[in-house]
Structure 1
Amino acid sequence: MLKALIESGFGNDRKLNCAEKILYGANETYDLGLSSDALKLAAGFGGGMAVEEACGAITAAVMVLSKLFVEDTAHKSNKIKNLTTELLYSYETKMGSIICKPLKKNHRSLFKGCDKVIITAAECLDEIVKRELNL
């Protein structure tokens, strides 16, 4: 699903940042129906919102969960809080953090950049989406 798309090099030709790769890729993989204007909302989340805070890949994954599992607002959703918590804990267990700075330090490579960070976010998101949508 999304993980396979990201592993195939999705977004590399367009130089998408980590958040954009997740949101643009999820839009294709999960058929979210997001417009090009909506996709632009992920741009500022790359690089931990440009200051190496919350990982852009994981914040975009939360955006995807919101699109899929919130009909109106978060307070009217009976799932989003639990699914977001599950996503963050799963990611942190696999990667050691949800914060960009230590993720870059421990997982960024000269030739592959943050591929491992992005692929793991896609994997965690895929696990939840597959289960929740019975895919």
Structure 2
Amino acid sequence: MDKHIEKAMQLRNNARCPNCAETIMMTYAEELGLSESQMKALGTNFGGGMKSGSTCGAVTGALMVLGALGISDPHIVGEFQRKMKENHNGMINCFDLLRANAQAGGQKKPHCDGMIKEAIELIEEYR
């Protein structure tokens, strides 16, 4: 398993489970020269689709990490979002993703963990 995914799942299994954006950002904290608490603070308002069901925190967290890694090419950013949408029937909004997951009988935490893993795999693909 990728070291970043392993780190993210350790964070998610903590009693104080961080949201999707926080998790992805905290996973890359050391590599980016920031503390986990700084990265958690930066990502806090992006969980739950910016706390409003909008764009998934795994997506926004990954985009922030890509930017911090110096990856800002509009083609790559667009491709990242397209791949996430393609993998989820055209959806990247938290509300829609969670609703579809629930309708399929899924539980929230495993779904979100999967979104985090997928976003990290894409981050690593673009490095």
TM norm structure 2: 0.79
1:44·1:50 contact (CA, 8 Å) conserved in 2? Answer: yes
Who is 1:83 aligned against?
Answer: 76
The count of corresponding residues between Structure 1 and Structure 2 is: 118
Does residue 1:21 correspond to 2:23, yes or no?
yes
1:1-135 matches, within 5 Å, as 1=2, 2-6=4-8, 8-13=9-14, 14-28=16-30, 31-35=31-35, 36-69=37-70, 79-96=72-89, 97-107=91-101, 109-110=107-108, 112=110, 114-129=112-127
Distance 1:100 1:66 in 2: 21
1:3·1:126 contact (CA, 8 Å) conserved in 2? Answer: no
How far did 1:34 drift? 1.7
3-state SS of paired residue (1:117):
helix
1:95·1:117 contact (CA, 8 Å) conserved in 2? Answer: no
How far did 1:4 drift? 3.7
1:57·1:117 contact (CA, 8 Å) conserved in 2? Answer: yes
Uncovered stretches (5+) of structure 1, i.e. residues with no partner: 71-78, 130-135
How far did 1:66 drift? 0.6
- Percent identity of equivalent pairs: 32
3-state SS of paired residue (1:15):
coil
How far did 1:110 drift? 5.0
| Change beyond 3 A, Cα 1:68–1:56 | same
How far did 1:113 drift? 5.2
Uncovered stretches (5+) of structure 2, i.e. residues with no partner: none
How far did 1:10 drift? 2.7
Distance 2:87 2:32 in 1: 26
| Change beyond 3 A, Cα 1:38–1:90 | same
| Change beyond 3 A, Cα 1:122–1:65 | same
4+ aligned runs moved over 3 Å, structure 1: none
The answer to which structure has the higher helix fraction is 2
One-letter amino acid of the counterpart of residue 103, structure 1? L
